[in-house]
Amino acid sequence: MVLQGLRSPPASKQPHTETGFTQGGKQAGMTTIIPGSTSQALAAAVADECGSTLTVPTYRRFSDGETLASIPEFDDSEAVIVASTATNDAHIELLQLQDAAREAGAETITTVIPYLGYARQDKAFKQGQPISVRAMAKAISTGTDRVLLVEPHEPAVTEFFSVPAEPIEAAGLLTGPLEVLAEPLFVAPDEGAIELATTARNAYGEGTVDYFEKQRDYDTGEVELTPSDAPVEGRDVVVVDDIIATGGTMSGAISVLNERGAARVYALCVHPVLAESALTKLSAAGVERVVGTDTLETAVSDVSVAPAVASKLAA
Ligand code: R5P
């Protein structure tokens, strides 16, 4: 990590490379990494991976509720903002950081969004509803030249951006912390997560893949799961999803699998939103271990997406 003001010689005197990124190296310095307040550890890890300068923003809240994110001056021509948008405030903060980077003279701005909030409202599910993620994408596009999204809820969400936008895959990283599994079965708690479960199985190197049917009541948020009849007795089962939010989907799957005699049930997710009592629900359902990534910095963020982000930035 190179903190602003501590680098030597100054970035503007460093040899110019085409992108300014040298993954794993420390000599670059043409790029300033700007962290959003919810992505501080990940931004630092990305700066480390890229050998880039990590700047230190200040985040303020006024008595009327408005917020102000500011950054120190920097010389680099490229800025990379790393900011998850899990909350409304984080969305505003991201727009401010983009504007501040442009104001500071950045010629090129890349916006890395480890967790893109509102991605699940990617259609109007009922008359009168917005396509929320499209509205967010439009706003974000105005302040950047490129967008990178870590495992967005649907890859097609990239089409809502008016600047080049690409997904970064992370599901394959999730099996790293798993121990040796007995006759592993990788389960998607709904059809939408089959690809993630397959990627996780492939990364683990053995096992079979299965999925549950899921119905969600869009008024109450309640989920109803219809399990398949795959045999689970005595097997280690790994449930893989992109997001654990309220924990309703994941805890429902874990309960069914435990009732059916699974040996151990693991919960893997890219984005551990963990709203309300999600972790407690998973524990009560009998989960062996929950593994998430640092797209959101939580107690279960055991896997870092920093190398994957750095590699995409360097590409
Ligand atoms: C939905 O399609 C997502 O992939 C997740 O299954 C969902 O967001 C999880 O939400 P919750 O934890 O609230 O059930």
Domain extents in the chain: 2-169+304-314, 172-294
Cβ 223 under 6 angstroms from ligand 1: yes
The atom number, within ligand 1, closest to the CA of 189 reads 6
Q: What is the 3-state secondary structure (H, E, C) of 181-236?
A: CCCCEEEECCHHHHHHHHHHHHHHCCCEEEECEEEECCCCCCEEEECCCCCCCCCE
Cβ 241 under 6 angstroms from ligand 1: yes
**Residue 5 pLDDT level (bands cut at 50, 70, 90):** very low
**pLDDT, mean of residues 106-130:** 97
Tens-place pLDDT, residues 37-50 = 999 999 999 999 99
Based on its alpha-carbon atoms, the radius of gyration of the chain, rounded to whole angstroms, reads 21
> Is 214 considered catalytic here?
yes
Cβ 192 under 6 angstroms from ligand 1: yes
Pocket test for ligand 1, best of 244, 273, 279, 295 (most atoms within 8 A of CB): 244
Of all residues in the chain, the percent with pLDDT exceeding 90 is: 83
Give 18 or 300, the one with higher predicted confidence.
300
What architecture is domain 2-169+304-314?
3-Layer(aba) Sandwich (3.40)
| Helix, strand, or coil (residue 301) | strand
Cβ 98 under 6 angstroms from ligand 1: no
Tens-place pLDDT, residues 155-208 = 999 999 999 999 999 999 999 999 999 999 999 999 999 999 999 999 999 999
The pLDDT of residue 284: 98
Tens-place pLDDT, residues 137-146 = 999 999 999 9
Cβ 249 under 6 angstroms from ligand 1: yes
Q: How far is the CA of 262 from the centre of ligand 1 (A)?
A: 22
Peptide linkage before 152 cis (omega within 30 of 0): no
Cβ 188 under 6 angstroms from ligand 1: no
Tens-place pLDDT, residues 97-111 = 999 999 999 999 999
**pLDDT, mean of residues 104-127:** 97
CATH topology (fold) of 172-294: Rossmann fold (3.40.50)
From the candidates 13, 123, 126, 214, give the one annotated as an active-site residue.
214
**pLDDT, mean of residues 291-296:** 98
DSSP 67-131: EEEE------SEEEEE----SHHHHHHHHHHHHHHHHTT-SEEEEEESS-TTTT--S-SSTT---
The pLDDT of residue 142: 98
Q: How far is the CA of 271 from the centre of ligand 1 (A)?
A: 10
- Whether 2-169+304-314 and 172-294 share one fold: the answer is yes
The atom number, within ligand 1, closest to the CA of 252 reads 14
Q: Quick one: which of 179, 41, 166, 76 has its CA closest to 116?
A: 166
What is the C-alpha to C-alpha distance for residues 61 and 66, in angstroms, rounded to an integer?
A: 6
Residues 6+ apart with CB under 8 A from 27: 14, 15, 51
Q: Given a cut of 80, is residue 270 above it in pLDDT?
A: yes
What is the C-alpha to C-alpha distance for residues 187 and 260, in angstroms, rounded to an integer?
A: 14
Q: Given a cut of 90, is residue 218 above it in pLDDT?
A: no
Q: Given a cut of 80, is residue 4 above it in pLDDT?
A: no
The pLDDT of residue 290: 98
